[in-house]
């Protein structure tokens, strides 16, 4: 009897709850933003649904980094058009980098009701409420995105969203064991191809106390791995009294928290990369020996045209120093192929750099001119699409060949991995059964490790012995 009435009450209140469906594009920073927006909305009584068709509100968090990323959002809006025909009350909010870049233009789209930029995400619940009440469209973006970071308004706004507690990770698999903490926003580098400084605004570092407090709360909730996030995370700098806190300080403080087992940070910029970060990594077993540090090109001419602020030699020297200080460090990178004027020689220089550095893995992107950036305004997109494609494939082959050779060093080694959960796409060469499905774990070096084990290991650290290696994956048995 009691059970029945409890069930009834639950259903009744459940029916009043408005449902949101969230679709997230873009980088890790965007995923974190999505989680925080979901937290802000659940605080207002919303519940999350995986099914767009049953949502009252659809939120799309967008990316502007390449044209393709924006095209995907427009095609997604096209699908929503059909949904909205059958349910005119459905409300659509487009948020994030593309919202900041296109503002009114996006708001004019027939299905869009709310547009909010990355600095206005804390306003999303109120904007949605307003749109529901008055059936009007609402826009909140930054007027002058490059307003100096010292201005009170910029500082205040940029910290608001981060104060929400992450109650839901947009990557639901990871909720049990790992979390991301933003340590800084924005970017001041102005690489000539890049839209990020124009959509995310100037660099603003969060106070270290706020970061440490957040890390402590997460650890108390059972989070074991924390990744510190920033567009150029090694530029983190916060002056308090007469001390300037750096990324190395944050790594030390976060890893000292009880319950935190692993700390990572992404993404690093090779300019002004301080060796203190490497020393903390070498001395502190909780700081994972993994460095994502994009080179973008191996040609000095192209690096200059990109305004990266270093030469290929300086980059290679830095990687050699990294390997001297942290001998087993895993290095990951990003490269852009087909930057305006990239010759065969320039491309060869990039291949040479990759062979010198021997990446664990690297992402290759085809140059995409972004409206308003220096390279889009001043340089012609001269490299044909087929050449960009060939260069892309070539670099992926080289990276894979290197990883295939280097990963063999793990054969027979026992590694500790943090178990993320059952594999979504089981590997064919591994048998599985209900007791021992294929699980995915990550090593401290950020290798994906596949092994059989009970699902109850999710969120835990286990030791596995590597039995087989592939360029992107290690296969193992539970030890
Ligand atoms: N803040 C990070 C990465 C930002 S964007 C950093 O500086 O390392 C992620 C990656 O997208 C970049 O590293 C770059 O390789 C790529 N990228 C950025 N703008 C691009 C463009 N216009 N065309 C192609 N790739 C681009
Ligand atoms: Fe873009 Fe360069 Fe800033 Fe990275 S460092 S976000 S590539 S401008
Ligand atoms: Fe894209 Fe914005 Fe991230 S442009 S890469 S979502 S900072």
Residue 170: per-residue pLDDT: 46
Task: Give yes or no for a contact between 93 and 59, defined as CB atoms under 8 angstroms apart.
Answer: yes
What confidence tens digit (pLDDT) does each residue in 281-320 have? 999 999 999 999 999 999 999 999 999 999 999 999 999 9
Residue 2: per-residue pLDDT: 39
CATH of 411-478, one of 1.10.1760, 3.40.50, 2.40.50, 2.60.40: 2.40.50
Percent helix, strand and coil across the chain, each rounded to 5?
A: 40, 20, 35
CA of 197 to the centre of ligand 2 (A): 7
Q: How far is CA 416 from CA 173, 330, 463, in A?
A: 19, 15, 4
Instruction: With a cut of 90, say whether residue 148 has pLDDT above it.
Output: no
Angle value at C-alpha 241, between 235 and 244, nearest 5 degrees: 20
Residue 9: per-residue pLDDT: 39
Task: Give yes or no for a contact between 133 and 127, defined as CB atoms under 8 angstroms apart.
Answer: no
> CA–CA separation, 85 vs 250, rounded Å?
50
All residues at 6 or more sequence positions from 222 whose CB lies less than 8 Å from its CB, including other chains: 176, 177, 259, 459
pLDDT band at 334 (very low <50, low <70, confident <90, very high): very high
Sign of CA dihedral 18, 24, 28, 33: negative
- What's the whole-number average pLDDT of the chain? 92
> CA–CA separation, 214 vs 208, rounded Å?
10
Cα–Cα nearest to 25, from 16, 17, 33, 15: 33
CA-proximal residue: ligand 1, atom 5 (nearest): 65
> CA–CA separation, 35 vs 39, rounded Å?
6
> CA–CA separation, 122 vs 40, rounded Å?
7
Mean pLDDT of 241-251: 97
Higher local confidence (pLDDT), 62 or 172 = 62
CA-proximal residue: ligand 2, atom 5 (nearest): 189
Cα–Cα nearest to 180, from 116, 113, 238, 262: 262
Q: Is any atom of ligand 1 closer than 6 Å to the C-beta of 267?
A: yes
Burial of 112 (0-12, 13-18, 19+ CB in 10 A): buried
All residues at 6 or more sequence positions from 257 whose CB lies less than 8 Å from its CB, including other chains: 212, 215, 216, 219
Q: Determine if the pTM surpasses 0.85.
A: yes
CA of 70 to the centre of ligand 1 (A): 14
Structure tokens belonging to residue 47: 């519940």
pLDDT band at 7 (very low <50, low <70, confident <90, very high): very low
- Give phi and psi for 25, each to the nearest 5: -110, 165
Residue 431: per-residue pLDDT: 67
Burial of 39 (0-12, 13-18, 19+ CB in 10 A): middle
- The DSSP output letter for 91 is E
Residue 283: per-residue pLDDT: 97
Instruction: With a cut of 70, say whether residue 377 has pLDDT above it.
Output: yes
Residue 145: per-residue pLDDT: 84
Mean pLDDT of 151-179: 69
* Ligand nearest to the backbone CA of 65: 3
Q: How many CB atoms lie within 10 A of CB 245?
A: 19
DSSP-assigned states of every residue in 38-89? HHHHHHTT-EE-S-GGG-SEEEEEE--SSHHHHHHHHHHHHHHHHHHHH-TT
* Ligand nearest to the backbone CA of 372: 1
CA-proximal residue: ligand 1, atom 10 (nearest): 334
Residue 318: per-residue pLDDT: 98
Task: Please provide the CATH number assigned to the domain covering 10-140.
Answer: 3.40.50.12160
Give the position, in ligand 2's atom list, of the atom nearest the Cα of 308. 2
Task: Give yes or no for a contact between 292 and 268, defined as CB atoms under 8 angstroms apart.
Answer: yes
What confidence tens digit (pLDDT) does each residue in 14-57 have? 446 899 999 999 999 999 999 999 999 999 999 999 999 999 99
Q: Is any atom of ligand 3 closer than 6 Å to the C-beta of 102?
A: no
HSE, side-chain direction, 13 A CA sphere, residue 356? 18
Sign of CA dihedral 354, 355, 357, 360: positive
Residue identified by tokens 């290197």 is: 402
Burial of 4 (0-12, 13-18, 19+ CB in 10 A): exposed
Q: Is any atom of ligand 3 closer than 6 Å to the C-beta of 98?
A: no
Domain spanning 171-408, CATH class? alpha beta
> CA–CA separation, 90 vs 310, rounded Å?
49
- The DSSP output letter for 206 is P
* Ligand nearest to the backbone CA of 392: 1
Report the SS3 class of residue 102. helix
> CA–CA separation, 325 vs 158, rounded Å?
35
Instruction: With a cut of 80, say whether residue 459 has pLDDT above it.
Output: yes
Burial of 118 (0-12, 13-18, 19+ CB in 10 A): buried
Mean pLDDT of 412-423: 95
CA of 187 to the centre of ligand 2 (A): 6
Q: How many CB atoms lie within 10 A of CB 442?
A: 22
Instruction: With a cut of 60, say whether residue 406 has pLDDT above it.
Output: yes
**Strand residues in 208-360 grouped as ranges (E):** 225-229, 237-240, 243-246, 262-266, 290-292, 330-337
Residue 129: per-residue pLDDT: 95
Instruction: With a cut of 50, say whether residue 366 has pLDDT above it.
Output: yes
* Ligand nearest to the backbone CA of 272: 2
- Give phi and psi for 20, each to the nearest 5: -115, 145
Counting residues of the chain whose pLDDT is more than 90, the rounded percentage is 85
**Domain residue spans in the chain?**
10-140, 171-408, 411-478
Q: Is any atom of ligand 3 closer than 6 Å to the C-beta of 233?
A: no
Measured torsion, CA atoms of residues 395, 318, 262, 438, in degrees rounded to the nearest 10: 20
- Give phi and psi for 408, each to the nearest 5: -60, -20
Mean pLDDT of 341-370: 98
Strand pairing partners for 21?
58
Q: How many CB atoms lie within 10 A of CB 43?
A: 12
């Amino acid at each position: 009897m009691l059970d029945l009435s409890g069930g009834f009450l639950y259903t009744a209140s459940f029916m009043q709850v408005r449902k949101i469906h969230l679709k997230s594009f873009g980088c890790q920073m965007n995923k974190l933003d999505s989680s925080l927006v979901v937290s802000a909305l659940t605080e207002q009584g919303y519940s999350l649904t995986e099914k767009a068709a049953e949502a009252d509100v659809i939120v799309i968090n967008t990316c502007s980094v390449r044209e393709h990323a924006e095209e995907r959002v427009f095609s997604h809006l096209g699908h929503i058009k059909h949904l909205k025909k059958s349910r005119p009350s459905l409300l659509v909010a487009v948020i994030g980098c593309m919202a900041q870049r296109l503002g009114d233009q996006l708001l004019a789209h027939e299905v869009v009701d709310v547009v909010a930029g990355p600095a206005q995400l804390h306003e999303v619940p109120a904007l949605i409420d307003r749109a529901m009440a008055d059936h009007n469209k609402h826009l909140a973006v930054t007027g002058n995105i490059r307003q100096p970071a010292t201005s009170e308004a910029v500082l205040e706004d940029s910290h608001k969203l981060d104060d929400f507690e992450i109650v839901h990770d947009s990557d639901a698999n990871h909720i049990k064991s790992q979390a991301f903490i933003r340590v800084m926003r924005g970017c001041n580098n102005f690489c000539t191809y890049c839209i990020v400084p124009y959509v995310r605004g100037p660099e603003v570092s969060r106070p270290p106390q706020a970061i440490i407090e957040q890390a402590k709360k997460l650890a108390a909730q059972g989070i074991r791995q924390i990744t510190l996030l920033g567009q150029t995370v090694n530029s983190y700098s916060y002056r308090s009294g007469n001390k300037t806190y750096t990324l190395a300080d944050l790594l030390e403080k976060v890893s000292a928290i009880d319950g935190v087992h692993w700390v990572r940070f992404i993404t690093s910029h090779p300019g002004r990369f301080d060796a203190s970060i490497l020393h903390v990594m070498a001395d502190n077993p909780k700081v994972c020996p993994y460095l994502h540090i994009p080179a973008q090109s191996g040609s000095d001419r192209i690096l200059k045209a990109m305004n990266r602020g270093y030469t290929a030699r300086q980059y290679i020297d830095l990687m050699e120093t990294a390997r001297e200080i942290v001998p087993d460090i895993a290095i990951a990178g990003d490269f852009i192929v087909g930057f305006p004027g990239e010759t065969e020689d320039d491309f060869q220089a990039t291949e040479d750099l990759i062979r010198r550095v021997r990446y664990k893995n690297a992402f290759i992107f085809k140059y995409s001119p972004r409206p308003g950036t220096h390279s889009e305004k001043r340089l012609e997109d001269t490299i044909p699409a087929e050449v960009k494609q060939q260069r892309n494939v070539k670099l992926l082959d080289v990276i894979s060949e290197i990883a295939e050779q280097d990963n063999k060093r793990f054969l027979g080694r026992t590694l500790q991995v943090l178990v993320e959960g059952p594999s979504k796409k089981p590997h064919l060469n591994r048998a599985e059964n209900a007791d021992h499905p294929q699980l995915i774990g990550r090593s401290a070096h950020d290798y994906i490790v596949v092994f059989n084990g009970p699902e109850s290991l999710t969120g835990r650290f286990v030791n596995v012995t590597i039995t087989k290696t592939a360029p992107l994956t290690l296969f193992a048995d539970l030890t």
